[in-house]
Chains A and B, each alone.
Chain A
């Protein structure tokens, strides 16, 4: 087993509402990111995947958002206990972040060059001039033509794909150990999407960093991840190496998700498999299995939370007896 860059243990992140109630958007999430690997976090909107990412880098909206419990072990240091100054060093330095919408991630008032240099000056102590030269290098690396001209342009002068390349250049500027990419290609077109994903993969191989790729697109996960974490309603329901998750998904939710997408091989106009119902509102979440809640099942599984168990090497599943086949759970001690 290789060493882990990041280990998230039993993370609970909650938001305090105006009436004083705490809503747990992330409710006991554990996973790890081995060195040099890409871990994909997949789930539907509102399942807590972005909040998990925000908790790792300490970017939760204040004052409502708090990490209540758990650890975020990054190279042996618990980031959930780190102070403001330390997190400032980590973000953009040791952990790079790419968000979904490149237009909002970039400052419209500053030139591209300045925005890339900022991190280099802050984290690596370069002079303005050195930083600008490095910025041109980085733009070239992320495949932007005529970088020496582009550094002097503003974000609005670039297309969506180009802007996302700039955001990636910023995230990679300080050669981070971990890159967190939250839906990096969702706002982009398919042909541009594949360019960006390939670019991220190439740069990752070159720099030996680890990546967390957050997406709702199982196609993206299949092509670009080593391990997959499936989240549902604030929890991890299944976690396994990528081939295993597609070849033998064990949790009913993972199966439902995989069966629901039409592929080019699905017979035309045939009925698609669906997952009935919808995710319950966060205020109504049960303590037990939330997928049983969606299926409107009754009984014990709603009241008691099932343990997260390893059913084969590196393949973990939330062991709800109604969502996972019994024969699988029998072999677990």
Chain B
């Protein structure tokens, strides 16, 4: 990709598991285990996967709320992987995050106006009076009345609270917003309002989004490209239309077929998936997905290089004999 706004290479985020009498390290949770992704300017990259696959951890490491164990994060051309918190401050102007649960991510002791003005204050932008004006503009931008500034976040409904969270993220006029399950906690009728708002803002401000979610229909709707994550690794990455029409990885296929269709006349040809995601503390040595479905070729994959290979134009998939059809595997081997 030409001049991506965000480029991460082989990112790893491991957490020690402590136990025993002296709190020794007894194991490691490999939440994110070697992820490489690019996000272009004004682009939405959707990141899907089931709970525990490491998608939220990945989002948090990108905005450096976590300190990655290994790998590189390049944002607007600068390596930010190991920057100190104070060195990160100017960079955070351009990189913001919206969280899943607005009830928990908004301080209930601050008025809505104070919440939205806080990033401006931290960055030393404007005077008290100009900030107030900016808050009003931001509220208007996300479809809230100006009077909301004097009220508290708990006085609002879930959808309105998420608008407040979005207004806060927009305050510094960022180039990239990491959205971690931004509509999962909302009712369907409100969900569509917030999705429309996100699409509008992107068009007007040329925002790039990393959109993390587990609802595949929502991700498809909002994304340009989609990455599928399984047990700490990306297993497939392609243009949103391509990945839904022509998924290559067995896990992507299963995810798509498991989406409940709101139409009773559509027959179900479900790819039944047995088992559950293995624990990231002690992941299988070979193909994690092959292990889950007890694939006959699982043994072969132990010690094999299962990294992503381009199977079609801009369509990347893990070169894993357990997860590809024989024909596809022959192409990438």
Contacts and interface: CB of A to CB of B under 8 A. Distances in A.
A302 B190 CA distance: 23
A266 to B, nearest CB: 6
Q: Find the residue from A190, A192, A218 having the highest chain B CB count within 10 A.
A: A190
B188 A260 contact: yes
B254 interface: yes
B60 interface: no
A223 interface: yes
A260 B264 contact: no
Q: Find the residue from A246, A274, A275 having the highest chain B CB count within 10 A.
A: A274
Contacts of B188: 44, 216, 218, 257, 260-261
Nearest to A260: B192
A310 interface: no
Given A269-B199, A272-B192, A274-B196, A262 B273 contact: no
A193 B258 contact: yes
Contact of B262 (A192, A198, A258, A272): A258
Q: Find the residue from B160, B263, B268 having the highest chain A CB count within 10 A.
A: B263
Interface stretch (B4-12, B69-77, B87-95, B212-220): B212-220
B187 A219 contact: no
Given A264-B244, A272-B192, A218 B262 contact: yes
A327 interface: no
A192 B276 contact: yes
Interface in A230-271: 242-243, 246-247, 256-258, 260-264, 266, 268-271
A271 B220 CA distance: 13
Contacts of A274: 189, 192-193, 196
B260 interface: yes
B232 interface: no
B246 interface: no
Nearest to A46: B187
A159 interface: yes
Given A246-B264, A269-B199, A269-B221, A264 B259 contact: yes
Given A44-B189, A190-B214, A268-B220, A220 B260 contact: yes
B187 A44 contact: yes
A271 B262 contact: no
B265 interface: yes
Nearest to B44: A269
Contact of A268 (B190, B221, B260): B221
Contacts of A268: 220-223, 240-241
B220 A257 contact: no
A273 interface: yes
B272 A195 contact: yes
A306 to B, nearest CB: 21
B111 interface: no
Nearest to A243: B264
B150 interface: no
A219 B214 CA distance: 15
A103 interface: no
Nearest to B191: A260
B261 A161 contact: no
B-side interface mostly: helix
B37 interface: no
Given A189-B214, A223-B268, A269-B221, A261 B240 contact: no
Contacts of B192: 260-262, 272-275
Interface in A186-245: 189-195, 197-198, 216-223, 242-243
The number of chain B residues touching the other chain, given as a range, is: 35 or more
Contact of A262 (B157, B220, B276): B220
B50 interface: yes
Contact of B264 (A192, A222, A271): A222
B159 interface: yes
A303 interface: no
A273 B188 CA distance: 11
B258 A278 contact: no
A330 B79 CA distance: 69
Contacts of A269: 199, 221-222
Contacts of B217: 261-264, 266
A194 B270 contact: yes
A246 B263 contact: yes
Interface string A79-101: 00000000000000000000000
Interface in B139-175: 157-160
Contacts of A256: 189
Contact of A159 (B241, B244, B264, B276): B276
A235 to B, nearest CB: 16
A221 B217 CA distance: 16
A287 interface: no
Interface string B23-63: 00000000000000000000000000011000000000000
Given A190-B255, A268-B220, A278-B159, 14 more contacts: A45-B158, A160-B51, A189-B214, A193-B258, A195-B273, A246-B263, A247-B265, A260-B192, A261-B188, A261-B217, A270-B221, A272-B195, A273-B192, A274-B192
Interface of A: 44-45, 159-162, 189-195, 197-198, 216-223, 242-243, 246-247, 256-258, 260-264, 266, 268-275, 278
Interface of B: 50-51, 157-160, 187-193, 195-196, 199, 214, 216-218, 220-223, 240-241, 244, 254-256, 258-266, 268, 270, 272-273, 276
13 contacts: A44-B190, A160-B51, A190-B50, A190-B259, A192-B276, A193-B258, A219-B259, A222-B261, A222-B263, A223-B268, A246-B263, A256-B189, A275-B189
